[in-house]
A and B are shown apart, each in its own frame.
Chain A
């Protein structure tokens, strides 16, 4: 066998100067030959640590071996046992903090870990090209309602159908996918891929009803009466605002609004699509997570010349994926490190003119383990801006929870659910994903969906047994 390459097989990407002008996917994917080359780097560990560090415990060496042997149907079959959304996970999972972090190859000197995510994507993209196989399951084991069609809900629904349930997913928006559809931009996760992956879950027998706001269009009581169990996966979709002076000026957006306009409503194709997004010259994004990267890079693609990110800590503490940060720098996004906005300044006509910031320094670590930012006195400075996008996090949306007061919440307003079983304070109601953990990752939400499916199956069968006695 040829000597293993120290580094990952590179994936072709659109050049920064071209891609920062379009919404097409940045990373272009492996060819089969590239995939095989990369797959041959895998050590095929027994008790592979990558498996245990994957929230849905994919048999990683197994599918990689199949890729190496160019047996794509087998590779896909292995993946499908564990994940319903591989094309999405392969693209948006923070592999460097999960499977790839513990890869034994990566732990040995000079070697980079195996590009597990990129290989998963290769297999999943291959599978999306194959004809859809319709399932013949009839859902005789019981009826389950899933509320919210984001990654957690779709995973639970997919697994429940495979277990033999009749599953209906209720979605408030006009399109399924949750954050995959309205949040993560086209250039990172093409909507075509999301759509195809969801079509495949529907082909398995999952019913998805859009335009249903549970709590408003139908009530929790009706759900309780019509279904044997329910999985609540409504996400953490309510934007937070810092609430500083000028927050209601024209030109000040939440990242949720900006990204929803751009992604879900195709604002970047205005006026072919009807929803506009503001034309800007100077955009300031507040925050340092993946959402901030997405907003900044979207603004660039809308033709904005100057886009800067204001983050209150330093590069070392940046919560965004390294890869996304590098992409943003390549595309010309500027950074103001250790800075925090304190006021949005009016142009005198109700529009944003500038962002007033202060300089920070880092003190002792806080409960998250990151060093706490402290304001440096008399350090105010001004950044000219006609648009500001706050990407400082999301909280629990109260629309559903307000109509369901029986359900126990924790001190942050998220649903209290058992980590091991997803069980809530009400029998038959399970919850997982961001509505339990607060804003986290796609793959963690999927992990919760998997657990919920197993536990819901156990619960429904047990209840039916008891009813027979």
Chain B
């Protein structure tokens, strides 16, 4: 059992929890994730480790309510427990001094991007960060990202914060004016795909963090397989970060849809239960 130490609503439908897991906190590195299960009947869901405090023994997780399990996770209050949390899983980001780096985060993907920003800054990089979201409320972790970025650019769909437009527009501006050694993009798959295309236009290598469907997260089932440079990789052990230009995007997006109808069914059933039980 893993105790939830704190729980906070960051934005409409986006939540942050601190979970007591000393061993994971001890080992977590930027780019890694955990798999958690809320209760005995729960499914195993992957979430990026946003931050970890070795001394206090907690890991920080941020999630968006998109279906049954995340809706249920949002109801777990401080002092309550999660059945299982395992990690840190996946390969860590290759943190080193590249020179000038560009980091692009979209929506709840900003949470996964944040530890990489922090790591790259500590490694002595000149960090330029672009954050994008539908509106100002969904631009989470702005202050924290700003703290570890030499430059922070905000983009919103509705112009309620920063500039109105897409993160790729901001990328173009940056690429036009300076030499970027390495870039990262984390967010919805469509965003990551277009960030990759934009970076390719300027011959800048870009890493993306893939979030396919996972079960065990330890390389034993291949449910999370992705095609990278024409060969099968398991995102849970070979990734989750891959070079964007090597990802087969159409296949990746297609595989994400596999359980669409079951996901909707589970979500509706849960909502019905909640409305009955109050």
Contacts and interface: CB of A to CB of B under 8 A. Distances in A.
A205 interface: no
A241 interface: yes
Contacts of B23: 212, 217-218
Interface in A190-246: 210-213, 216-219, 237-239, 241, 243
Contact of B43 (A211, A241, A275): A275
B216 A274 contact: no
A350 B251 contact: yes
B239 to A, nearest CB: 13
Interface stretch (B86-94, B96-104, B148-156): B86-94
A350 B85 contact: no
A261 B43 CA distance: 9
Given A257-B215, A350-B251, A210 B27 contact: no
Contacts of B232: 241, 243, 247-248
A266 B37 CA distance: 13
A455 B30 CA distance: 41
SS class, residues of chain A in contact with chain B? loop
- Interface size class for chain A? 35 or more
A414 to B, nearest CB: 15
Nearest to B83: A174
Contacts of A278: 258-259
Interface string A423-448: 00000000000000000000000000
Which of B43, B221, B257 is packed against the most chain A CB atoms within 10 Å?
B221
A278 B213 CA distance: 13
A53 interface: no
B262 interface: yes
A172 B215 CA distance: 12
B222 A256 contact: yes
A274 B237 contact: no
Nearest to A272: B41
B49 to A, nearest CB: 12
Interface in B11-57: 23-24, 27, 37, 41-44
Contact of B215 (A211, A261, A350): A261
Interface in A166-201: 172-174
A213 B262 contact: no
A256 B262 contact: no
Contact of B222 (A218, A250, A254, A274): A254
A256 B220 contact: yes
B85 A211 contact: yes
A239 B219 CA distance: 8
A257 B221 contact: yes
B255 interface: yes
Contacts of B254: 250, 350
B222 A239 contact: yes
A278 B262 CA distance: 8
A250 B87 CA distance: 27
B68 interface: yes
Interface in A340-363: 350
Contacts of A256: 220-222
Nearest to A254: B222
Contacts of A253: 223
B110 to A, nearest CB: 25
A385 to B, nearest CB: 16
Interface in B197-234: 215-216, 218-223, 225-227, 232
B219 A216 contact: no
Contact of B89 (A216, A237, A274): A216
Interface in A391-409: 397-399
B84 A216 contact: no
Contacts of B237: 398-399
Nearest to B237: A399
16 contacts: A212-B86, A213-B87, A217-B86, A237-B219, A238-B220, A239-B221, A239-B222, A247-B232, A257-B223, A261-B215, A271-B265, A271-B269, A274-B68, A274-B69, A275-B44, A397-B219
Interface of B: 23-24, 27, 37, 41-44, 68-69, 83-89, 215-216, 218-223, 225-227, 232, 237, 248, 250-251, 254-255, 257-259, 262-263, 265-266, 269
Given A173-B218, A250-B257, A265-B43, 15 more contacts: A173-B86, A174-B86, A217-B87, A239-B220, A239-B222, A241-B225, A248-B232, A248-B255, A256-B222, A265-B44, A272-B41, A274-B68, A276-B262, A397-B220, A398-B219
